[in-house]
Structure 1
Amino acid sequence: MALAALSLQISLAQAQSEGTGPGGQGAGQGESFRPGIYEEPEENLPADVGELFDDRGVLTPKGALIMEPSLSFSHSSANRVAIEAFTIVPAIAVGLIDVREIRRDTFILAGTFRYGITSRLEFETRIPYVRRSDDVRSRQLLEASSDDVIIDSNGNGLGDIEAALHYQLNIPDPGDPYFIANLRAKSRTGTDVFEVDRELVMQDDLIVGERLMEQPTGSGFWAIEPSITAVYPTDPAVFFGNFSYTWNLERDVGGNIGEIDPGDFVGINFGMGFGINENTSFSLGYDHTVVFRTEQNGSVDQTEFDRIHVASLLLGFGHSFSPKANLNLALAIGVTEDAPDVQVTMRLPIRLF
């Protein structure tokens, strides 16, 4: 999901001896298999082509349980200028100009568990632990003081737990794409921004800002995300893409805030992966999410943009250490202002049985 971190698993696209299917002698697997329908020995773990997105492309074999610890780090920065003034001549403003430099670092340590209910249906749950720190440096340019105001805060704790179902819709003929239907639900188990205490920041007996006593670890809203994933194997590469819609459920926060209906998300991503050798793979991808405007008590803030675009370029690397363990690294580089500058994610899927 857009509130969470992203990965898509797909099989190595090395052709079988008769030139069919996306399986073959891929990443440490000695037996061929069709997408989602595994015929390799039970002890083998399906190989990946550099995990990039959250939505599944290779399903867990029937009766198998996979544990995937992961660690993600993201860094965001922004410079914002707020002007409350009037102009007397072009380029000269009289009033208050507030300049802010914002830095945010987020660490997410998560445990993901996937179980193959059938050879075409998989259940997944993800439990994250989040640590966030924010630093804001502010200066009011037209005030007498030349000192910067530093406002910092951090927080850590349980994040929003997620659960998902993935179902392979078809068993394709050789050379045809296959499709995965996904349904993901996100809770609000993390501490949200409405539950965090605040304090005023003073300078020279003036209120210059507001500081969160701690950073939230959750969004504060339930969300449901249906999506469809397409995977097209073609030797020696695999092409994949996903389209999703995230419905964020409205909530009555109470007090003087009232009812908040967060904006929904529309997301699309696509990419390509290919095997370098039997154990190593590489992938490229692009992810784009459109976030729509939030409503409060049935109305919208006219000063906000109608939509926000969050887009990233992704690079992935996968390596199979053994039939039961893979290592996956993913790098996301933000290409729009509202996307994180950089995000690095490491995953280690391990087949338990």
Structure 2
Amino acid sequence: MQRNAIPLVLCAVLFAAPLCARAAVGSKPPEEGSVASVYQQQNALFVPGQFTLEPGFTYAYSDSNALTLNGFLALGAIFLGNINVSKVTSNIETFSLQATYSPTDRLQLGVAVPYLMRQSTYESVGVQGSTTQASEQTVRNGGQIGDIAMLLNYELIGQGHAYPAIIWNNQLKSPTGRSPYGIQLQTQPQNNNLSFPSSLATGSGVWSYTTGLSFIQTTSPAILFGSLSYTYNFERHVPNINSQPPSAGGDVLAGNLIGIGFGTAFAVNDKMSLTFAYNDAISQETRLRPDGGAWQNVVGSNANAAALALGVSYALNSHTTFVTNVMVGLTKDAPNLQVSLKVPYAF
């Protein structure tokens, strides 16, 4: 499995936006669009009969460097052997469309459809055996649908003066995107140190179910929020699990994931709000089992993607909100930079 397919799952952590609010202070957010936007971002705003259509765009950039030493250290200071320096740079543009509907003041149903365009550049030294000359190879996909998700959010407890609102969040994601399993690795003819995939994945390749709780509490002038989630990936049989010939079918058990997040938001005025948050997603190793064989761990497939986020939302009117978000990765598994824009419209 490609390591650079991991950010596809991790890049799904984005901020939504807002509309109108309901009820009184202490149990529900006030009517200001800026505060309602924060509640909407945390899946904590339920307006009976309201339908929301939310187009969005996200750009994610990441790079990684690797140094491989094949030799030995002589006299405790001189390295004798081959040195290979490689770099991978990835750019992912995601166009998304999410639709939600609240049949009651506690229940929200929705569906989210992503469309991804990816480009990765692989660099390595080793041209004609040289340890100084480098070459590169760029792999692109022309755009393809990602994993479609179905959403269900339910308010377990409404916010009170002494306790936060608690929302139960559920997501079922289907493997509609291009699977990372079975993608073949190729070697550049002039540089046998440079290997690259024949195509790029746009999905996880397996069915997954995410469940968790989010919490939100108004403590004027700030709003506090947090979340805890768990993603379970279902075992799935795929026709090819090898990245090199020959083809071999087998079972895939992608690593499950724990997600945590917390932050605070401030309503600058009745239209604009600022959000500061920390998000972390920790996944286990993926396991593969060839037909007739035993389970094997995919080395290096576990990840810890932590990021800091800054968001700004602006309520254009009672129906439309403009939401931007910038995330900066804190660990090597998180994208270096992720910028998103969403414009929800409520009917």
- On whether the aligned pair clears a TM of 0.5, the verdict is yes
Aligned residue identity for 2:237: D
Q: CA deviation at 1:98?
A: 1.6
Q: How many residues align?
A: 326
Contact residue 162 and residue 184 of structure 1 kept, 8 A = yes
| Cα shift at 1:198 | 4.7
Is the contact made by 1:12 and 1:281 (CA closer than 8 Å) also made in structure 2?
no
1:47 alignment partner in structure 2: 36
Report if aligned partners of 1:241, 1:269 keep a CA contact under 8 Å in 2. yes
TM superposition score normalised by structure 1: 0.84
CA RMSD between the two structures: 2.7
Letter of the 2:324 counterpart: L
Question: CA 1:281–1:172 in 2, change beyond 3 Å: closer, same or farther?
Answer: closer
Counterpart of 1:102 (choices 88, 93, 106) is 88
Q: Secondary structure, in 3 states, of the residue corresponding to 1:48?
A: helix
- The answer to whether residue 166 in structure 2 is matched with residue 179 in structure 1 is yes
Query: Is residue 2:207 matched to residue 1:222?
Result: yes
Match of 2:303 in 1: 308
Q: CA deviation at 1:3?
A: 4.8
- 1:330 CA drift (Å): 0.6
Between the aligned partners of 1:144 and 1:171, the Cα distance in structure 2 is 66
The equivalent residue for 1:344 is 339
Change (3 A) 1:215 1:337: same
The 1:320/1:144 distance shift into structure 2, 3 A limit, reads closer
Given that 1:50 and 1:329 are in contact with CA atoms closer than 8 Å, whether structure 2 keeps it comes out as no
Distance of aligned partners of 1:229 and 1:82 in 2 relative to their CA distance in 1, 3 Å threshold: same
Judged with a 3 Å threshold, the aligned counterparts in structure 2 of structure 1 residues 51 and 214 are, in CA distance, closer, same or farther, namely farther
Code of the aligned partner of 1:217: T
Per the alignment, residue 4 of structure 2 pairs with: none
| 2:133 matches 1:147 | yes
- Quick one: distance in 1 between partners of 2:76 and 2:328? 37
Residues 150-180 of structure 1 deviation map (CA, whole Å, 9 limit, x = unaligned): 0110112111111110000013433421100
The residue that corresponds to 1:271 in the other structure is: 263
Matches within 5 A, 1:276-287: 276-287=268-279
Instruction: Return the letter of the residue paired with 2:177.
Output: G
1:258-286 CA-to-partner distances (Å, cap 9, x unmatched) read 32211111110000011100111111000
One-letter code aligned to 2:300: E
Q: Which residue of 2 aligns with 1:34?
A: none
Deviation (angstroms), 1:199: 3.4
Does 2:229 match 1:244? yes
| Partner AA of 1:47 in structure 2 | A
Which range moved further: 68-77 or 219-228? 219-228
Runs of 5+ consecutive residues of structure 1 not aligned to the other structure: 29-45
Distance, in Å, in 2 between the alignment partners of 1:321 and 1:247 is: 38
- Could you tell me how far 1:108 is from its partner in structure 2? 0.2
Identity within the alignment, %: 25
1:210 to 189, 195, 220: 195
Shift, 1:66, TM fit:
0.4
Q: 1:20 aligns with which of 12, 15, 26?
A: 26
Q: Contact 2:58 / 2:341 at 8 angstroms: preserved in 1?
A: yes
Q: By how many angstroms is 1:348 displaced?
A: 0.3
Q: Is the 8 A contact 2:83 2:131 kept in 1?
A: no
Is the 2:28–2:158 Cα contact (8 Å) retained in structure 1?
Answer: no
Equivalent in the alignment of 1:232: 217
Please give the secondary structure, in 2, of the residue aligned with 1:49: helix
Once the 2 structures are TM-superposed, how far is the Cα of residue 223 of structure 1 from its aligned partner?
1.1
Residues 1:51 and 1:14: Cα distance change in structure 2 (over 3 Å): closer
For residue 273 of structure 2, what is the amino acid of its counterpart? Answer: S
Look up the match of 1:319. 314
Contact 1:51/1:330 (8 A) holds in 2 = no
Q: TM-score, normalised by structure 2?
A: 0.85
1:85 equivalent in alignment to 2:91: no
Match of 2:5 in 1: none
CA distance in 1, matches of 2:253, 2:201: 18
Quote the Cα distance in structure 1 between the aligned partners of 2:305 and 2:251.
Answer: 25
User: How much does 1:144 deviate?
Assistant: 3.1
Q: Are 2:250 and 1:258 aligned? A: yes
Post-superposition shift, 1:215?
1.8
Between Structure 1 and Structure 2, which shows a larger proportion of helix residues? 2
Indicate the residue corresponding to 2:283 in structure 1: 291
The worse-fitting range, judged by mean Cα deviation, of 317-326 and 242-251 is: 242-251
Q: Structure 2: which 5+ runs fail to align?
A: 1-8, 240-246, 290-294
Contact preservation (8 Å) 2:21, 2:45: no
SS, match of residue 220 in structure 1:
coil
Contact 2:188–2:195 (8 Å) recurs in 1: yes
Distance 1:14 1:220, change over 3 A: closer
The residue type paired with residue 307 of structure 2 is: S
| Distance change >3 Å, CA 10–CA 267, structure 1 → 2 | farther
SS in 1 for 2:181: helix
In the other structure, the counterpart of 1:37 is none
